[in-house]
Each structure stands twice: as structure tokens, then as C-alpha cells.
């Protein structure tokens, strides 16, 4: 599996393209921060959707029982199977 960083202009279209294919798949949300350290916020729950709002600079990850928002994200890295 290869990881790569997405260019910011690519975020909206990338999530729009993959959201349908990932709907219902199980996902894990890990939150990382200097004050918090690494924490698992959601562990392998069904993904309902993922979007990037360009106007508000906001990533929204909708999971069953949880709506996780990332305001003003610095970067987005994805793991892709070759």
C-alpha cells in the first residue's frame, strides 16, 4: 500500500469521487494532536460519507453514531492500493 499527500485543490473532488465507493465500509478515526496525543475516536464503524467544504475549509466524516469535523486541515494523506 502506498501513501501519498493530496494537493489541497484535489481534496473536494477526491472525496466526491470515493464517497460512494466507501459508503457502508467500516472506518476508524484516529485523532492526533500535541496536547491530546494519539486517540481513537471511532473504531471500525460504518462510514456514511466524507466531504470537503472548500468555502468553510472543513472536512466532514460522517460515521454511524458520530460526525467528525476537521476545521482548517493542514494536510490530507491517503493510503492507496497499487
- Tens of pLDDT, residue by residue over 30-50, are 887 777 778 887 888 999 999
**Domain count for the chain:** 1
Grid coordinates representing 14 are 477526491
* Residue-range definition of the domain harbouring residue 44: 2-80
Query: How much is the pLDDT for 4?
Result: 92
Query: What pLDDT is stored for residue 16 in this prediction?
Result: 94
Q: Rounded to two decimals, what is the model's pTM?
A: 0.80
Residues 6+ apart with CB under 8 A from 31: 38, 39, 40, 41
pLDDT exceeds cutoff 80 at 24: yes
Q: pLDDT class for 82, splitting at 50, 70, 90? A: low
Cα gap 4→64, rounded to integer Å? 27
Amino acid at each position: 500500500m502506498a501513501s501519498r499527500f493530496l494537493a489541497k485543490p484535489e481534496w473536494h473532488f477526491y472525496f466526491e469521487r470515493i464517497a460512494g465507493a466507501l459508503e457502508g465500509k467500516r472506518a476508524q478515526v484516529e485523532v492526533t494532536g500535541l496536547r491530546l496525543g494519539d486517540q481513537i475516536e471511532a473504531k471500525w464503524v460504518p462510514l456514511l460519507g466524507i466531504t470537503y467544504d472548500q468555502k468553510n475549509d472543513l472536512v466532514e466524516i460522517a460515521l454511524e453514531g458520530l460526525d467528525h469535523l476537521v476545521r482548517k486541515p493542514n494536510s490530507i494523506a491517503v493510503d492507496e492500493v497499487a
